[in-house]
Structure 1
Amino acid sequence: MLHNKSFMRKTKSGKVLKVVREHYLREDLPCGFVNCPRCQPILEENSQMIKLQTLSPQAQRLLVVDTNVVIRQIDALEHPKLMDVVIPKVVEEEVRHLNTKTHSRLRAIIDNKEKKFFLFDNEHHRETFVERLPGETPNDRNDKAIRTVALWYGSHQLLPVILITNDRLNKEAALAAGVNALTVLEYANEIRDSLPEWTDMLVVGQDQEEQNDAFTKKTEYPEHKSKNETEAGLKAGRYYQGPLRMNRDNYTEGNVPVEGLEDEILIQGLQNLNRAVNGDIVAVQLLPKEQWSRPSMRAVQKIEDNEDGEGVSEKDQNLMEEMRPSGIIVSIIKRNWKPYCGTIDSGSNGSQALFVPVNRQIPKIKIHTRQMENLKNKRIVVSIDAWDKNSKYPSGHYVRTLGPVGDINVETEVIMIQHDICYHPFTESVMNCLPSPDWIAENDPDFKNPTRRDLRHENICSVDPPGCTDIDDALHIKTLPNGNYEVGVHIADVTHFVHQDSAIDKEAAERSTTVYLVNKRIDMLPKLLGENLCSLRSNVDRFTFSVVWELTPEAEVVSVDYFKATINSKASLTYEQAQMRIDDKRLHDDISVGLRKLNALAKKLKQRRLDAGALELASTEIKFIRDQESQEPLDVEMYQLRETNSMVEEFMLLANVWVAEKIYESFPNFAILRRHPTPPKKNFEPMIDAAGKIGINIEVESSKALAESLDRAVVPKDPFVNKLLRILTTRCMTQAVYFSSGSVARDQFAHYGLAAPIYTHFTSPIRRYADDIVHRLLGCCIGVYTLSMDIDNNRITKLCQNINFRHTMAQHASRSSTELHTVVFFRGRVLQEDGYITRVKTNGFSVLVPKYGIESMVYVNTEEDSKDFVMDKITHQIKSVSLGDVAIGLMNKVESLLSSMHLNGNRFVWRSRSMRTESHCV
């Protein structure tokens, strides 16, 4: 059936045109449930064409929900026991336009067959399509369409139908039309016996929240400026905009970096923070210069340490730093609220509770719950709903329970949620993009493509960490007749399987990276690709994107070639196995000889980079030996680096540099590159100060000067000092980021740490989405791909923003996983090891224990300690009054007793025998 929709449109010239659009309506669209008698004839004719849903065995009603319910109550809709729900197409479309994240979550619910949600296309069904009447608002028309859907489903007499809406007018209109309509809270009361926790998951109205607030309102925050006032203030230069970054040691202090300002704006005290939370985009008003302050030198152990948080006393300020531009937050431009993990405060009782987030940058959250006893000593998830100006804490709602505090799997899930890791299973639409598990290279049409070279005869091998299954890269080398070498870097051809804008491509773009935790890996791509068809395993044919150079014996590049290939790796080696082949001179097979040649060239490539000013930094990377059954850590050891690690790294760096040059040459306005900005000199001040305390001078005028200073920074009696300085230097670095070449000036492309004028990532497409974009751009450069019309600077910039965020979160999650397993390792153990002091605060100091990669604060402001320890404002040392000259300062070596670690607070005991005292490290 064809339905014409017409409307009048005014052109720029003032003429009025009548626009007629054709809208097709169908009579053969069933309600979607296989056991509907009314739709049976349609189902019999179209069963292969229509996606159907069965009702749950315990189904007692059908729910139809409106758009506001989906937007506000998506957490409640995700409850696994909430089933048999109809989502009208008009609702799905509205949600898509209003909130893309919520729309993605809604689509995931609909795609989950266990949830029994059905998306009904009411807009193309003759009986449910609703015409918009003259003078009727789009919202009123959509509400009428939703009511029509509820009536239509009621006529099928499958089950009683309930329309869930919090819109008073919509509910009244539904009841008048004979539709059973309830608010979300009314429906929650009806199912209270079967789903008692569902009420806790609801986002309640602010009026109800205030009526039931049992917590004393000690705080009245300033009113936020209106949107118009904020925009006017930003335009006039009275306000500044930027993201709030909370101090990791002090939740009452944060900084707002502002584009165009050299210094970040310091925000101190809860009043000045004005209900902003970490990550919010805020508008800031600068205080008069005489009210500027210095960053705090105090570390907050827990929220109760400074509940009022009003400013910082002089004794707690970092008096070695200059006054910083300081300000107050006048409005929140964009909230960064997300689900938070934590526990119920032990002092909570009744139906109201304070939720304490694991992330100490987030304030406590008020929630209402009927599950108080069940939630104690459990990790739960809570979302913030609002923060009234009269309320000391934000209000929120319970989302779900993860499990008992201390369970390693529960704590791992906490890490993933806290770092916004996409760890949901791959959807059916993603899995449908995969090739057959029986895929064979020779049977693929592209195998015979003349642009794909057959290199299966070459002595290609891979070198990776032990247990690596997602092998991205492989190498080969052979001597040419002229005495030069042909060296090839072969990278998994992921984009052969992951086509642009497909479901799997969109999922990979969202995830952006594979996340490596101690006890699990969250893949960017399904295992069929990552561990099988794309992984360059030995003795199987695999597709690659290859870069091949002719190099002189001095590792100078004579020529370079880029092409797609088919390879058959002759060996999949670990770093240790490759090192043994290199070192064992008795081995003269092609692979061993080739590895020795590659290693010799790699050393020359590395020396050339170091001569140019590349930095050799360090980290506290460790690895765990785990029990095969329980997965709990049995032992900890420092990660050992070999020459073969460096060998592989050098050729990957070489490939990345040359590919960067190639794609930038072809696409100067939207090549995806990676840069590492030069750190401001002030970033190095803590490290320079620390080195100066032990008589070492560090130069930071250039990366080369810094590298040479670090090479000279040797203390013969303590070899670890050099590594410690390199660790501290790493913390002075700015973050390396992906960017579009059209958004940054050419002189800002450089990678400071690598001393490279231009750089990108090409070599890990299985685990990094940036590399896949680079593969597509390089493919366009050599003519194997066609440039997509919508690839431009704006699209690449948006992709880079998400990739940078996901990359950072993955790094933080990995570190948190290491810390978690360290905590588990120390349960019930008492070990004594050397430690080094890396930071000093007015009330404590941070100790790094190299053997275990542990670094944490030792607080000396306990009741018994406070009279004994004082902070020297000049030297920034904590001195013991009772022990005379004994002082704690940067780079000091201490003996530490590690024990009693537990997950609820990550606490261990530190004891310095030389100081004869004990403090708790949290």
Structure 2
Amino acid sequence: MLKTKVFFKKTKRGSVLKVVREHYLRNDIYCGSSGCRHCQENENFKPVLMPDSISKSDLVPLPHYIIPDTNVVLHQISILESPVIHNVIILSTVLQEVRNKSPPAYKRLRDLLANENKRFYIFVNEHHFETYVEQEPGEEDNDRNDRAIRRACFWYQEHLTSVPGKRKRDPNITIVLLTDDRDNREAAIRDGIKAYSTSEYVESLKGHPELQDLVAKIGTCIFIDNKKSVFPDHLPASVVHDGIKQKKYLQGAFQASRENYLEGFVNIEGMEKPVLIQGLSHLNRAVHDDIVAVELLPQNQWSAPSGIVLEEKVDDQGDAVEENEVGEPKDHLSEAQPTGKVVGIIKRKWRHYCGILQPSIIKDRNMHLFIPAERRIPKIRIETRQAETLSKQRIVVAIDSWPRNSRYPLGHFVRALGEVGDKATENEVLLLEHDIPHSHFSEAVLACLPKLPWAIREEDIEKREDLRHLVICSVDPPGCTDIDDALHCRELTNGNLEVGVHIADVTHFIRPGTAIDQEAAARGTTVYLVDNRIDMVPELLSSNLCSLRGNEERFAFSVIWEVNKKAEILSTHFCKSIICSKAALTYEHAQLKIDDSRLNDEVTCSLRRLNSLAKILKKQRMDKGALILASPEIRFEVDSETHDPIDVEVKQLRETNSMVEEFMLLANISVAKKILEDFPECAVLRRHPPPPNANFDPLIKAAKSRGFTIRIDSGKGLADSLDAAVVPDNPYFNTMLRIVATRCMMQAVYFSTGTVQEEDFYHYGLAAPIYTHFTSPIRRYADILVHRLLAASIGSDSTYSHLLDKHTVQHLCNNLNYRHRMALYAGRASAQLHTRLFFKDRIEQQEGYVLFVRKNALVILIPKYGLEGNLFLNRDCEGGTSVQFQFNEEEPSQTCGKVTFRLFDKVIVQISINASNVQHQKMVLKLVHPTVPGFSVPSQDLSKGDVSVSSSEEMAKKRKKKS
């Protein structure tokens, strides 16, 4: 049967367009039940639903199938994922609504549908002759969809309980509608359908009380003792929408402060500085990453960030509202920044959160507080009957709602991860918190891999340039198995030099649209943790067939230049190739070869030529204004059996590090020019936006405190002023200044050239007009996209049609930017985890530097371990004494008696771990030197062997001696 749908659509130009769509209805769509007497008669029928494998319910004693409405799928997906729940019918109405409203919930639902053991069945009710319903005049979409769901429930009930050819009822199978909408539930009951709320149905399941903890608390209201509202009302969506349209309100992403949970910021497009939000009332239940509507306060109420580092209150149990720690209004408005308040929530970005349970101190109470691992997420109040068991485990919790009379949002328990402190559990938390895909590769992905033994065939040689005769070698960190780049340099007969960068040809094995390609695109990047690596592609490719290992023939994508002795490029050649690396070296090994004058073999000579050219290339980049920034990076020596950290050292950078970097940069720039030339609308490039001037305020103030001026008018000016900022008696000063400069930068991002103006292609950090990523396709999907475009440019591969739409490419780039950022944060979190493990049973005294001065703390950087910690001031010390520091915001500085602490001052601190807060175990720093009476801890006797003190100069001597 054919129906037509007619509706009118308004175009961008204001004209009205009549749209007519055909809607086909059928009567031969199967119900999916093995107990159906109608559908069994058809030989093509394949049953999914099995009535003999259904949980027993006190409400529904007979075998039954569950039909959830859209809101149950959206909010109670954890219940549906439980192993207890089977035989669920998902209507196409529900499936489409979930897809439109929540991509994460839609993905989880698709996973359930793909799990044969769960027996979830899609019934296409929108195309069935007897279940399709027309939308009535004036009827809301939601009401029409609820009616369609009830119609499908009624049809199933009649269909499954009647005998073919007769209308005799056979009450062996029952249909249960799950809906938390009271009106929908009452309407279903009037139609003779068994309908229950999720909580009613879950409570009726025999022998599964733990499921009650999984029920989402939607619309629940919590009353506190004084019954006063903690927060103001949010404005209705229509008012917010109109206010944004009239520019009365601003919208942006809310970013909670890491140092002060009573502060946050909202980044507004077009505004140089973010809008500052201070105090509980003004934060108004915004959660980190939510899209919010903000109302600016009058300019005389603008403020500045408080500069206070708030320590967590571990024992908080109630809804007591803390005093707001807010910034003080400035006399000079130029020193303040736009300040506002949240008036509405446009879009919640809630997800599942990992953390621990803080059981209530009140016995026999089922309401408890959950402490998230992410500091920027507020505590969550959940109801559970398993508090005693869960208090010893890492658990996952979801937020359901945040009533205005509750200090904390309300949520529900999802699942337990494992024992607190177990390393595998802590790593799982780390990966989940940073949304890192880390499941095993599926059978479909593994089926895309080549069969072993694998060898290069004659037809492969005919399609590629044979470069196996060249003296090619790779230079990588120690222990690297995913070697994706190699180099060569040889002298030509005309006196010039031939330089080649050879990159693993991953796209030979990963074809567009395959399961392995889709998985790599979803993962986006390989994630490097201290003791583990989460590969983007299976190990057979990453560590074997695509890894350019020494003395093994491999496929490569090569960029070959002819350059003169001044490193000027005379010609560039791109080709698919076959190479055989003559050596796989570490940075240290390559440096020893270059420095050893007795060695003159082909590999060493090639390295020396490359190193000489790299120095020229680097100088050319620096002259153009490329920045040399810094970050505190460390390397852990891990026990081979336990994988626990046993030693820590700062990463060493040698000339060979810079040598490899220069040629990778050159290859990336050359490839970027080529693909932009041939694909001006859809080339995948990487840009680094220049920071707004306001970003440089901390850097300018930090340099000014030591008498230096930082120029920010251009990248070249910034680079030159950083080079000039040198303090002879403090060799670490310039490094710290560059660390501060790094934090002023914007994030570099991938983009499709057709979506960005050409003047915005610029890479600020590299001072490069155009740039891309080509040199690491084993670990970055962006490089795979670039390889495909480059292959199309040189005519060696034609499978690139999927990259011709700029919007499709930009969608891929958006995911890559997100995955790259999460991988970076996960790597840092892994280093922090292992630092805590390293200090678990030790106390050390180490040299540190004052990186920032806050109102109540000094932020100390410990170079040896690359870590930062807060040294809190104005606190009660041992023996009951109280020490007061005076904060000078202008310098900035902290003074107590005759001792003053300024930016970049050297100190000695005692480092230990505070394990009292199980969720947020953190480094505790105590001052050793300079001595502040009543505040400093005594320097310990180093002869006892339980502590150590080392300066950056001593560390350098040790490294030199070791090498």
Normalising by structure 2, report the TM-score.
0.85
What's the CA shift string for 1:680-739, capped at 9, x where partnerless? 344333233333434444444433333333333333333222222222221222222222
Q: Distance in 1 between matches of 2:625 and 2:286?
A: 41
Matched, 1:242 2:249: no
**Aligned to 1:282, what secondary structure does the other structure show?**
strand
- The code of the aligned residue for 1:239 comes to Y
Q: How far apart, in 2, do the equivalents of 1:866 and 1:151 lie?
A: 79
Counterpart CA distance in 2 for 1:580 and 1:319 is 58
Partner of 2:862: 849
CA distance in 2 between counterparts of 1:216 and 1:772 reads 60
Shift of 1:666: 2.3
Q: Secondary structure at the match of 1:546?
A: strand
Q: CA deviation at 1:801?
A: 2.6
What one-letter code is carried by the residue in structure 1 that aligns with 2:893? Q
DSSP-derived class of the 2:864 partner: helix
Partner of 2:945: none
What number of residue pairs does the alignment pair up?
Answer: 899
CA contact (8 A) 1:691 1:891 kept: no
Q: Is 1:420 the counterpart of 2:441 in the alignment? A: no
1:187 corresponding residue in structure 2: 201
Tell me what 1:328 maps to: 341
Structure 1 residues 917 and 379: CA distance shift in structure 2, 3 A: farther
Q: Please give the per-residue CA displacement for 1:560-590, whole angstroms capped at 9, x wherever unaligned.
A: 1222223333333222232233333444433
- Secondary structure of 2:262 counterpart: strand
2:412 aligned to which of 394, 397, 401: 397
Query: Partner of 1:668 in structure 2?
Result: 680
**Contact 2:112-2:120 within 8 A present in 1 as well:** no
Could you tell me which residue of structure 2 aligns to residue 285 of structure 1?
A: 295
SS at match of 1:104: helix
Does structure 1 residue 164 correspond to structure 2 residue 178? Answer: yes
Q: Distance in 1 between matches of 2:19 and 2:924?
A: 76
Match of 2:848, SS state, is strand
CA gap of 1:627–1:62, structure 2 versus 1, over 3 A, is farther
Q: In structure 1, what is the Cα distance between the partners aligned to 2:677 and 2:757?
A: 15
Q: 1: distance between equivalents of 2:556 and 2:153?
A: 51
Paired residue for 1:294? Answer: 304
Q: Is the 8 A contact 1:59 1:84 kept in 2?
A: no
Candidates 634, 643, 654, aligned match of 2:655: 643
2:563 pairs with 1:562 = no
1:534 corresponds to which residue? 546
Of 353, 359, 367, which residue of structure 1 is paired with 2:374? 359
Matches within 5 A, 1:142-153: 142-146=149-153, 148-149=155-156
Structure 2 residue aligned with 1:140 = 147
Aligned-partner residue type, residue 302 of structure 2: W
| Structure 2 residue aligned with 1:713 | 725
The answer to whether the 8 Å contact 2:302/2:339 transfers is yes
Task: Determine the C-alpha separation between the residues in 2 that align with 1:358 and 1:8.
Answer: 50
1:811 equivalent to 2:824? Answer yes
- Tell me the amino acid that sits aligned with residue 224 of structure 1: H
Q: Match of 2:503, as an amino acid?
A: I
Q: Does 1:915 align with 2:937?
A: no
Label 1:316 to 1:645 Cα distance change in 2 as closer, same or farther (>3 A): farther
CA distance 1:230–1:120, shift in 2 (3 Å): closer
3-state SS of paired residue (1:442) = coil
> Of 643, 666, 669, which residue of structure 2 is paired with 1:631?
643
The aligned counterpart of 1:201 is: 214
Question: Against the structure 1 CA distance between its residues 393 and 79, is the aligned structure 2 distance closer, same or farther, given a 3 Å change threshold?
Answer: same
2:72 alignment partner in structure 1? 69
Gaps of 5+ in 1: none
Identity of aligned residues (%): 44
In 2: Cα distance, 1:543 partner to 1:696 partner: 52
Task: Give, in whole Å, the separation in 2 of the partners of 1:766 and 1:158.
Answer: 56
Rate the CA distance shift 1:96–1:533 in 2: closer, same or farther, 3 A. Answer: farther
Q: Residues 429 and 600 of structure 1: is their aligned pair in 2 closer, same or farther, counting only changes over 3 Å?
A: same
> CA–CA distance in 1 between the matches of 2:176 and 2:876?
60
In 1, are the aligned partners of 2:874 and 2:884 still within 8 Å (CA)? no
Distance 1:594 1:809 in 2: 38
CA distance in 2, matches of 1:915, 1:183: 64
* Letter aligned with residue 927 of structure 2: R
Provide the C-alpha distance between the structure 2 equivalents of 1:310 and 1:250, rounded to a whole number of angstroms. Answer: 13
Contact between 2:871 and 2:927, CA under 8 Å: does it hold in 1?
A: no
For the structure 1 residues 19 and 749, does the alpha-carbon distance in structure 2 shift closer, same or farther, using more than 3 Å as the test? Answer: closer
Residues 1:167 and 1:326: Cα distance change in structure 2 (over 3 Å): closer
CA distance in 1, matches of 2:50, 2:560: 56
Given the alignment of the two structures, is residue 382 of structure 1 paired with residue 382 of structure 2, yes or no?
Answer: no
**What SS does the corresponding residue of 1:750 show, helix, strand or coil?**
coil
CA contact (8 A) 2:894 2:902 kept: yes
Which whole-Å CA distance do the structure 2 matches of 1:266 and 1:699 have between them? 26
Show the 5 A alignment for 1:693-712: 693-712=705-724
Q: Deviations over 1:208-230 (max 9, x none)?
A: x22x6567655442322222222
Q: Matched residue of 1:851: which SS?
A: coil
Identify which of 281, 297, 300 aligns with 1:271.
Answer: 281
Q: Counterparts of 1:38-187 in structure 2 under 5 Å?
A: 63-66=65-68, 67-80=70-83, 82-88=85-91, 91-112=94-115, 115-122=117-124, 130-132=131-133, 135=136, 137-146=144-153, 148-149=155-156, 162-168=176-182, 181-187=195-201
- 1:322 Cα deviation after fit: 0.1
State how far apart, in whole Å, the 2-side matches of 1:715 and 1:909 are.
26
Distance (whole Å) between structure 1 residues aligned to residue 724 and residue 673 of structure 2: 34
Alignment of 1:395-544 (within 5 A): 395-432=410-447, 434-438=448-452, 440=454, 442-443=456-457, 447=460, 450=463, 452-544=464-556
Asked whether the equivalents of residues 298 and 316 of structure 1 are also in contact (C-alpha less than 8 Å), the reply is no
Distance 1:55 1:500, change over 3 A: farther
Check 1:573–1:146 CA distance in 2 against 1; reply closer, same or farther (3 A cut): farther
| CA–CA separation in structure 2 for the residues paired with 1:420 and 1:524 | 14
Pairwise CA distance, 1:837:
0.7
The verdict on how the C-alpha distance between 1:152 and 1:429 changes in structure 2, with shifts beyond 3 A counting, is farther
Q: What are the equivalent positions in structure 2 for 1:221-236 lying under 5 Å apart? A: 221-236=231-246
2:764 aligns to what?
752
The CA distance in 1 between the partners of 2:203 and 2:738, in whole Å, is 60
Offset of 1:249 from its aligned partner?
Answer: 0.8
Structure 2 SS opposite 1:615: coil
Give yes or no for contact 1:599–1:644 (8 Å, CA) kept in 2.
yes
Question: Which letter maps to 2:151?
Answer: K
Q: After the TM superposition, which of the residue ranges 293-302 and 406-415 deviates more from structure 2?
A: 406-415
CA contact 1:612–1:755 (8 Å) conserved in 2 = yes
Q: Secondary structure at the match of 2:823?
A: helix
Q: Which runs of 5+ in 2 are unaligned?
A: 10-14, 57-62, 163-169, 938-963
Q: Distance in 1 between matches of 2:584 and 2:157?
A: 60
Q: Pick closer, same or farther for the CA change 1:577–1:165 going to 2, 3 Å.
A: same
Residue in 1 that maps onto 2:957: none
Question: Could you say if the C-alpha distance between residues 633 and 794 of structure 1 is closer, same or farther in structure 2, counting changes exceeding 3 Å?
Answer: same
Query: Contact (CA 8 Å) 2:683, 2:789: kept in 1 or not?
Result: yes
**Which one of 674, 677, 696 corresponds to residue 689 of structure 2?**
677
Query: What per-residue deviation string (whole Å, max 9, x for no partner) do you get for residues 774-796 of structure 1?
Result: 22222332232255267433333
Contact 1:426 1:526 in 2 (8 A): yes
Q: What is the CA-CA distance between 1:22 and the residue it aligns to?
A: 5.0
d(CA) in 1 for partners of 2:52, 2:928:
63
Superposed CA deviations along residues 299-335 of structure 1, whole A, max 9, x for unmatched, are 1111579974665456698999701111112211111
TM-score normalised by the chain length of structure 1: 0.89
Do the aligned residues in 1 keep the contact of 2:49 with 2:121 (CA within 8 Å)? no
Instruction: Look up the equivalent residue of 2:366 and give its one-letter code.
Output: S
Question: Which range moves more in the overlay, 550-559 or 9-18?
Answer: 9-18
